[in-house]
Amino acid sequence: MAQPESTCWTVIQAAAAGSPVDRDAFARCYSPVVRAYLAARWCSFPRLADLDDAVQEVFVECFKRNGVLDKAERGRGFRPFVYGVVRHVARRFEAGRHRAREQPPPGDFDLEQVAEEETSLSRAFDRAWAKALLREAARVQEERARGQDEAARQRVELLRLRFHDGLPIRAIAARWQVDAAALHHAYARARKEFKAALLEVVAFHHPGTAAEIEQECANLLALLG
C-alpha cells in the first residue's frame, strides 16, 4: 500500500503513466484477488492452465496505452472496477476457446453455465477482495507494532492465535501463563488497533467519507462472516 495520504487512484494514475514501482505495487496487491476469482470461475473446467495467462492479461489490459486504467472513473470504489476488468478478460478467454473448436469436448467451457453462475462468482470475487484487505490490515498492524514495545508485538500474536489458530483467550492465557482477565483487556486493545489499520486500508481502496469507510469495513467483515 502507498503512503497514507494517497489512495488507490493515486497508484493507478502513476501505474497508468508507466511507473514501474506503482505497477509492481498494483499487481502485487490485486493479483491474489484476480487469481481467486478466475480459479473459482474455472474450477470445473479443464482450462486452469489458462489461469496464469489470464491473470497476466488482466494487468496487460490495465497497463497498456489507452487501457482501462486510463479510462477508469475516479472517485468511486475500486472493487467494482477491478471486478469489471477481470470478468471482461475471463469472458474473452472463454469466447476464444469457444471459437477455437467446432465440437466442444465434454467438460469444456459452457458459456451459458458461466452466465448462470455469475452471481456466485461475484460473491467469490468479493470474498477474495475482503480477505486481501484484511491481510493488508494485519500487515499494517504488524508493521506498526514492530516500532513499538513488546506488548504491542504480543497483541499482534494474540490476534493471530485467536483468529488464525482458533484458540480461545483462556487457552492463550494458559499457554502464556498470564491472567485471563488481563489478556481479555489486551485482546480488546488489539482489536481496536486492527480496526484502525483496517480503516486506513479501506480508505486507500475505497475513498470516501468517514461514514462510508466505516460502512465498507462492515461490508467486508459481513462477506467473511
- From the first residue on, what is the mean pLDDT of each consecutive set of 10 residues in the chain (225 residues)? 59 79 84 90 71 89 76 68 88 72 47 61 88 91 94 96 94 96 97 95 85 92 85
Q: Provide the pLDDT for residue 140.
A: 93
Instruction: Check: CB of residue 121 under 8 Å from CB of residue 41.
Output: yes
Question: What is the rounded distance in angstroms from the CA atom of residue 169 to the CA atom of residue 177?
Answer: 12
Provide the CATH topology of domain 1-116.
Rna Polymerase Sigma Factor; Chain: A (1.10.1740)
pLDDT of residue 183: 97
Contact yes or no for 51/42 (Cβ under 8 A) = yes
Q: What is the pLDDT of residue 184?
A: 97
Distance CA 225, CA 216 (A): 14
Q: What local confidence, expressed as pLDDT, does residue 60 receive? A: 86
Torsion angle of the four alpha carbons 7, 191, 178, 165, in this order, in degrees rounded to the nearest 10? -80
Choose among 31, 79, 80: nearest CA to 55: 31
pTM for the whole structure: 0.76
* pLDDT score at 3: 45
What residues contact residue 151 under an 8 Å CB cut-off, 6+ apart?
A: 186
Task: Give the C-alpha distances (Å, rounded to integers) separating 94 from 63, 123, 152, 157, 196.
Answer: 22, 20, 49, 44, 41
Contact indicator for 108, 117 with CB cutoff of 8 Å: no
Say if CB 2 and CB 10 are below 8 A apart.
Answer: yes
CB neighbours (10 Å) of residue 82?
23
Residues of the chain with CATH 1.10.1740.10: 1-116
Q: How many helices (H) and strands (E) does the chain have?
A: 11, 0
CB 68 within 8 A of CB 58: no
Q: Which amino acid is at 174?
A: A
Instruction: Identify the residue whose cell numbers are 498492524.
Output: 141
Question: What is the reported pLDDT for 65?
Answer: 75
